[in-house]
Structure 1
Amino acid sequence: MTVDEQSMSEIDTTLFVTVSGPPGCGATTLCERLSEATGCPYVSGGDIFREIAEERDLTLTQLTAKAEESDEIDRALDQRLQTIAEEWGMANKPFLLESRLAGWLAGDRADLRIWLDAPEEVRVRRIEDRVETEPEMRVREVSEAGRYQSYYEIDIGEREFYDLTINTARWGKEAVFDIVRAALESYEPSEDDGAFETPAIDL
């Protein structure tokens, strides 16, 4: 990237942004680009999950199995993410929080809530180089959706409170970044008539 291209990609913002979506949606790619462009921290649910696994001296596979057995692991993860959201929601500094429930957990603390998605066949192709297999991805999606509904009465398919929903199969990585950058740079608090209310979660 040239100096001119670098300066063009920089984003001057103080917004707290959440990014959510299913496996292979492009959330990690977008967050890495946004973090670089804004110079702000980026925390993902996956990082926190790995942190919990290390604390308990478990592999990710073992921790995932335990999460299937009871709500303790999911609640521990979500409580940490919610605490992070609370802290950064009051900081008036740019921040990125990425997880399947980030928009729900941040609630009205977030300035912009983004949902990314893509057709299943596209997402499957995108995870081909990952440890997780296609059947595992599909099982995990169904399992997580069931657990969210059971634990928190969350319908993960409910999208109306997201401010921006993007089908990342329709544009390249840079174009998706440009769409979000435009949303961040054009945001004017004085012109904001209000976000959709996020249903409260009892953790």
Structure 2
Amino acid sequence: MTNDDTSHLTPSDVTDEPIDSTLFITVSGPPGCGATTLCKRLSAAMDCPYVSGGDIFRELAEEKGFSLNQQTAAADTSDSIDRALDNKLQTIAEKWGAADKPFILESRLAGWLAGSHADLRLWLDAPDEVRLERIDGRVETEPEMQVREVSEAGRYQAYYDIDVDDREFYDIQLNTARWSKEGVFQLVRAAIESYDHDADEGAFDTPPVEL
């Protein structure tokens, strides 16, 4: 969900103790990894905006009267859709990276696009069978979502020379099938609250992305 550049999501069914932090956090992972669930909780607890690349992609499709599958097919034949989306996400990252305020950016390329603006980069994942069960009932069917994953990875490699399997620069890689939703949230919360800028000896370099 987006509102211009940002979407401030505050789930009414979850009330967490506030997280006092100014970190710019990116969350990435394949469909069904649990990114949306985590981002909504973090956004509410940190009282900060949250932007989803997937929501922007869907909004672009709706503006054109496309289904999600039609939008994906169109993106396979032209780089204009991906480049417009990624340029917007990178612009948002630059804006919030200079703001010294908490912010959450979620997309498959969020960690790459945010670059040095991000303070904490997360990669979420889960075994295929778990992710497929989680996406059951969504607009996309399981085969369609699997095709989208492969399609996106190929486009990222072709357009930006990005290998989505290169995860060295992520600060945290988490198998969300090993913990409950609450457990995942508490693990990430602990990482945020225990972060000490003065004790930070340095992150891995994020490869530059030229859009």
- Shorter-chain TM-score range: over 0.9
Q: Report the Cα distance in structure 2 between the residues aligned to 1:22 and 1:71, rounded to whole angstroms.
A: 21
- Which digits, 9 at most, give the CA deviation of each residue in 1:10-59, with x for residues without a partner? 20110000000000000000000001111100000012112322443433
Among 81, 105, 108, the alignment partner of 1:97 is 105
- Report how many aligned residue pairs link the two structures: 198
- Which structure has more helix as a fraction of its residues? 1
Q: Report the Cα distance in structure 1 between the residues aligned to 2:142 and 2:96, rounded to whole angstroms.
A: 35
Name the aligned partner's letter for residue 197 of structure 2: P
Structure 2 unpaired stretches of 5+: 1-13
Q: Report the Cα distance in structure 1 between the residues aligned to 2:146 and 2:62, rounded to whole angstroms.
A: 25
CA RMSD of aligned residues (A): 1.3
- Which digits, 9 at most, give the CA deviation of each residue in 1:85-129, with x for residues without a partner? 000000000000000000000011000000000000000000002
Q: Give TM-score, length-normalised by structure 2.
A: 0.90
Q: Percent identity?
A: 70
Q: 1:153 Cα shift? A: 0.6
Among 113, 116, 121, the alignment partner of 1:113 is 121
Are 2:165 and 1:153 equivalent residues in the alignment?
A: no
SS at structure 2 position matched to 1:91: coil
Q: Report the Cα distance in structure 2 between the residues aligned to 1:137 and 1:168, rounded to whole angstroms.
A: 19
Are 2:204 and 1:181 equivalent residues in the alignment?
A: no
Q: Give TM-score, length-normalised by structure 1.
A: 0.94
Q: 1:6 Cα shift? A: 4.0
Mapped contact 2:123–2:172 kept (Cα < 8 A): yes
- Listed as ranges, the matches of 1:75-90 within 5 Å are 75-90=83-98
Do the aligned partners of residues 138 and 57 (structure 1) sit closer, same or farther apart at CA in structure 2, a change above 3 Å counting? closer
Q: Report the Cα distance in structure 2 between the residues aligned to 1:143 and 1:58, rounded to whole angstroms.
A: 18
Name the aligned partner's letter for residue 195 of structure 2: Y
Mapped contact 2:72–2:148 kept (Cα < 8 A): no
- Listed as ranges, the matches of 1:1-203 within 5 Å are 6=15, 9-203=17-211
Q: 1:177 Cα shift? A: 0.2
Q: Report the Cα distance in structure 1 between the residues aligned to 2:68 and 2:153, rounded to whole angstroms.
A: 19
